[in-house]
């Protein structure tokens, strides 16, 4: 198994198994949405796409952010703290974020896609191993915005697991807590929509036992929670 690393600018060139990582906060939040009962999540690139999808299917909920803040037309934002209070049983969600969902929709050459964060790390590694890919490319979605140290840490942790190693997780999780994105969002801005409890969620390991593979169907990307 060969490993490659890319970002939002070059992920369109990635082939094989592509692992799109957004620890703070999109794919941590998506995992919490699944844990609250969500049936399916449709990642999209723009607010307009999300609202068009919601208009076409009124029962769908829109979540995500622009610049960290949920558009007023969305049903909820990108905070796992908030999402963890919701009853999403059987609901379908359309998600738009500035990093995570961009990595999904831009990875147009991928043979297989999976969204990842630390809260589903072990399950993600198991899912990838079950697929037996010849190559794995990690998309460090945060690299474009804030350096992406938290996403790079998750990618390197996953690579260790895929190589058959069991590294101590704490150094990897500490990189999440001390990342530039974390410092800016949870300590410098002092914004109620960015509670520090979000950081606790984003820096938690293996809370959930499912992976989040993404498929393309009927012109849309679709993410589901799958136990490997």
pLDDT digits (tens, 9 = 90+) for 108-156: 999 999 999 999 999 999 999 999 999 999 999 999 777 899 999 999 9
Query: Of 101, 179, 192, which is closest to residue 141 (Cα–Cα)?
Result: 101
Could you please report the per-residue DSSP string of 92-131?
EEEEE-SSHHHHHHH-TT-SEEEEE-GGGHHHHHHHHHHH
pLDDT of residue 6: 97
Record the tokens describing residue 128, joined without a space.
Answer: 């990838």
For the purposes of burial, counting CB atoms within 10 Å of the CB of 219, is it exposed (0-12), middle (13-18) or buried (19 or more)? exposed
In angstroms, rounded to a whole number, what is the distance separating the alpha carbons of residues 38 and 91?
A: 5
Q: How confident is the model at residue 195 (pLDDT cuts 50, 70, 90)?
A: very high
pLDDT of 219 over the 90 cut: no
Domains contained in the chain, CATH given: 2-223 (3.90.1560.10)
- Regarding pTM above 0.85, the answer is yes
Given CA atoms 178, 99, 155, 228 in this order, what sign does their dihedral have? positive
- Residue 34 in this model has a pLDDT that exceeds 90: yes
In this prediction, residues 39-68 reach a mean pLDDT of 97
The span from the CA of 134 to the CA of 151, in Å, is 22
- Nearest-5° angle of CA 204, CA 210, CA 211? 95
pLDDT, residue 186, reads 94
SS3 at position 180:
helix
Give the pLDDT score at 118: 98
Q: Could you report the per-residue pLDDT of 198-218, keeping only the tens digit for each? A: 999 999 999 999 999 999 988
Residue 189: which residues within 8 A CB-CB, separation 6 or more? none
Task: Tell me which residue of 164, 163, 167 sits closest to 205, measured CA to CA.
Answer: 167
Looking at residue 9, its pLDDT comes to 96
Tokens of 64: 């995500």
Write down the pLDDT at residue 142. Answer: 95
Q: What is the dihedral of CA 215, 148, 38, 56, to 10 degrees?
A: -60
pLDDT at 145: 75
pLDDT level of residue 80 (50, 70, 90 thresholds): very high
pLDDT of residue 218: 82
């Amino acid at each position: 198994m060969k490993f490659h690393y890319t970002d939002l600018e070059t992920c369109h060139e990635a082939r094989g198994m592509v692992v799109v990582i957004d620890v703070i906060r999109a794919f941590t939040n998506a995992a919490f949405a699944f844990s609250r009962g969500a049936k399916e999540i449709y990642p999209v690139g723009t607010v307009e796409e999300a609202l068009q999808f919601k208009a076409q299917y009124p029962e769908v909920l829109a979540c995500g952010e622009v610049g960290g803040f949920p558009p007023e037309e969305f049903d909820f934002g990108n905070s796992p703290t908030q999402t963890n209070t919701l009853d999403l049983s059987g609901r379908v969600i359309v998600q738009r974020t500035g990093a995570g969902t961009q990595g999904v929709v831009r990875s147009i050459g991928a043979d297989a896609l999976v969204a990842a964060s630390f809260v589903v790390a072990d399950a993600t590694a198991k899912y990838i191993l079950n697929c037996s890919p010849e190559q794995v490319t990690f998309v460090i979605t945060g690299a474009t915005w804030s350096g992406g140290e938290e996403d790079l840490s998750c990618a390197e942790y996953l690579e260790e697991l895929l190589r058959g190693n069991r590294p101590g997780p704490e150094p990897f999780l500490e990189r999440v807590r001390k990342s530039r994105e974390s410092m800016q969002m949870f300590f410098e801005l002092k914004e109620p929509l960015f509670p520090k409890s979000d950081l606790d969620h984003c820096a938690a390991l293996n809370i959930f036992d499912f992976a989040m593979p993404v498929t393309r169907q009927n012109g849309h990307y679709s993410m589901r929670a799958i136990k490997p």
